[in-house]
Amino acid sequence: MLKHHVAGAEFGEGAATGAIFNPATGEETGRVAFATAVEVGQAIALAQEAQKKWAATGLVKRADVFFRMRQLLVERQDDLAAIVTREHGKVLSDAKGEISRGIENVEFAAGLVHLLKGEHSTGVAGGVDVHTIKAPVGVVACITPFNFPVMVPLWMSASAIACGNAVILKPSEKDPSAANFIAALWEEAGLPAGVFNVMHGDKVAVDSLLNAPGIGAVSFVGSTPIARYIYETSAKNGKRVQALGGAKNHMIVMPDADLDAAADAAVGAAYGAAGERCMAISVLVAVGEATADAIIAKIGERATALRIGDGTDPATDMGPLITREHRDRVAGYVTGAADEGASVVLDGTTRAFEGDGYFLGASLVDNVKPGMKVYDDEIFGPVLSVVRAQSYDEAVAIINGNAFANGTAIFTRDGATARAFQQDIEVGMVGINVPIPVPIGAYSFGGWKNSLFGDSHIYGPESIHFYTRSKVITTRWPDASESQIELGFPSNH
């Protein structure tokens, strides 16, 4: 049984457990412990003790840990990717891809000596200097989703730890083993025991973290309803919180676009990882009837040829969905689309697969309109909807009218259109001929509207602000003979 990892060792009794499945076979491969409120409280206390010592550690010594962690992730990426594929189902190349994007933030956080610099002003008044320092928030709770069991934990934990905090990671109970592997790597890299901890579980564990006074900040990635709950509960308890929610990412295809390149990009962005990405393209907005007809034909041809199967097979393009229940939920959107007035061009629900894996074929749905469930809801599966627009302005209005605003893209050969798009669009991350515009580690990730609750994006520069509290220090060293009583409000003149 997979237990919690706290203060450098297995932790907890594991009285309550959950099953771990291999999505490619449907077989139960293990059990994972579910934390009680008491166990969460004990883990927080241990993390608090470790955090005090870690915060007092010199910055150069902290940075050394990150350089070693980066090397270990590179050396062990095959082992880590195998864990991800076994429990999540995504193909091995995709699993390695998410590890590489997680490494980016470890590399960014390794520059902590520079990132944690404050500011200094000399002589703001007679003999008065002012400077700022960045202090850690304490113990940070990181609650991460099933779809990126390595990348998102590294996005959160690297920045939090660099800033002098301790972390309690609550990974998804659906694919939890990667979290324990990461914990072992952190400690092998030289991170003191108790600075990075893993608590497995369900809503009991989550609520315990949200309500515990010993947690200073909460980072979350998941669906919008849960993100809103995380945000409201954490804020009510006086915690700093960033809660990234769902998405409905649109990709505009203009009449002047390279349609073959656009079709290739759409297939990769819509069906990669079986669509279980918060940055997946789930809506293609084709401008003009001719553009729509042509791009649909090209996407349909490519999607039909996708090889779907066990992610451990190098020949596989797309693996299974995470659970049987989620697969059936996704299938329901496809089978119900025609009743809403849409046209199912490619029905992945009719594709047959051997065994008991949670497989679903790629689906392509045309003539989709806002107001249809297939358009409005975050499906999180291999379903690409096509919305037909008659102009660029109509396409932009459709996207700006959506409740989600995580990522978007436009495919065009016209520079003026591309420049207008990046100004006109009300979305947090924008791609120009780039279908999945996930920023590199030196920038920050996050959307607008119902895709983000809180005012800080994840990883990159904004994460340093989120995981630290600024202190402003005003100093004066007057001569003793200058001392006098002043009852008026202090003036800097």
Reduced to 3 states, what is the DSSP secondary structure of residue 57? coil
**β pairing state of 27-34 and 16-22:** antiparallel
Q: Which residues of 455-465 are buried (b: 16+ CB within 10 A; e: fewer)?
A: ebbbbbebbbb
Q: What is the Rg, in whole angstroms, of the alpha carbon atoms belonging to the chain?
A: 25
Sheet holding 468-476, edge to edge: 120-125, 128-136, 468-476
The structure tokens listed for 401 are 């009218």
The overall longest dimension of the chain from CA atoms, in Å, is 91
Q: Is 267 left (phi over 0), alpha (psi -120 to 50) or beta?
A: alpha
What's the CA gap between 316 and 90, in Å, rounded?
10
How far is it, in rounded angstroms, from Cα 442 to Cα 435?
19
> What's the whole-model pTM score?
0.95
Average of per-residue pLDDT across 87-115: 97
Active site residue: 103, 168, 209, 278, which one?
A: 278
Instruction: Band the pLDDT of 321: cuts 50, 70, 90.
Output: very high
List, for residues 345-390, the tens digit of each pLDDT value.
999 999 999 999 999 999 999 999 999 999 999 999 999 999 999 9
* Nearest CA among 377, 163, 421 for reference residue 275: 377
- 163 given a catalytic annotation: no
Comparison of pLDDT for 126 and 1, the residue scoring more: 1
pLDDT-derived band of residue 77, with 50, 70 and 90 as boundaries?
Answer: very high
- 456 three-class SS: coil
Pairwise CA distance, residues 37 & 24, whole Å: 33
Q: Is 240 helix (H, G, I), strand (E, B) or coil?
A: strand
Distances (CA, A) of 227 to 204, 230, 235, 303: 16, 5, 12, 32
378 touches 249 (CB < 8 A): no
Q: Which homologous superfamily is 249-432 in?
A: Aldehyde Dehydrogenase; Chain A, domain 2 (3.40.309.10)
The domain spans of the chain are 4-245+451-473, 249-432
pLDDT for residue 45: 98
Residue 348: the pLDDT is 97
Angle at 292 between CA 287 and CA 296, to 5 degrees: 145
- In angstroms, rounded to a whole number, what is the distance separating the alpha carbons of residues 165 and 65? 14
End-to-end CA distance of the chain: 67
138-190: pLDDT as tens digits: 999 999 999 999 999 999 999 999 999 999 999 999 999 999 999 999 999 99
CATH architecture of 4-245+451-473: 3-Layer(aba) Sandwich (3.40)
Q: What residue spans of 198-246 are helical by DSSP H?
A: 203-211, 224-236
Is 431 strand, coil or helix?
strand
Task: Give me the residues paired with residue 34 across strands.
Answer: 16
